[in-house]
């Protein structure tokens, strides 16, 4: 698991803002739970995964045609 150093000074050989792994902390003789509780490190957030939404195809509906009278001979047209 990865963590970010939030302490003002070096922690387990890493500067503030640098990423540190659980193995790095254990190799340096540190305790992950203790460093987390003291606020010296914080959990690096996993990248957020966006769900893909499938767009359903929209069916185009034909508009009903209106009956229109022809002004010249008063015959109906469609």
pLDDT in tens, 20-70: 999 999 999 999 999 999 999 999 886 667 777 677 777 777 766 666 666
In a domain, 17, yes or no: yes
With respect to residue 69, please indicate whether it lies within any of the assigned structural domains.
Answer: no
Query: How many domains is the chain built from?
Result: 1
pLDDT value for 58: 72
Does residue 72 or residue 33 have the better pLDDT?
Answer: 33
Structural domain for 32, as ranges:
2-43
Residue with tokens 């914080």: 42
pLDDT > 60? residue 78 = no
Sheet of strand 41-43: strand arrangement: 19-21, 2-5, 41-43
DSSP β-ladder status, 2-5 and 19-21? antiparallel
Q: Is 59 within a domain?
A: no
In degrees and rounded to multiples of 5, residue 43 shows phi and psi of -70, 130
Q: Which two tokens stand for residue 17?
A: 């803002």
Length of the chain: 78
pLDDT at 22: 92
Domain for residue 72, yes or no? no
């Amino acid at each position: 698991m990865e963590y970010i150093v939030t302490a003002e000074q070096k922690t387990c050989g890493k500067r503030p803002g640098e990423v540190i792994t659980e193995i790095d902390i254990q190799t340096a003789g540190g305790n992950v739970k203790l460093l987390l509780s003291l606020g010296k490190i914080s959990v690096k957030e996993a990248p957020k995964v966006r769900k893909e939404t499938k767009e359903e195809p929209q069916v185009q509906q034909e508009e009903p045609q209106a009956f229109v009278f022809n002004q010249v001979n008063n015959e109906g047209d469609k």
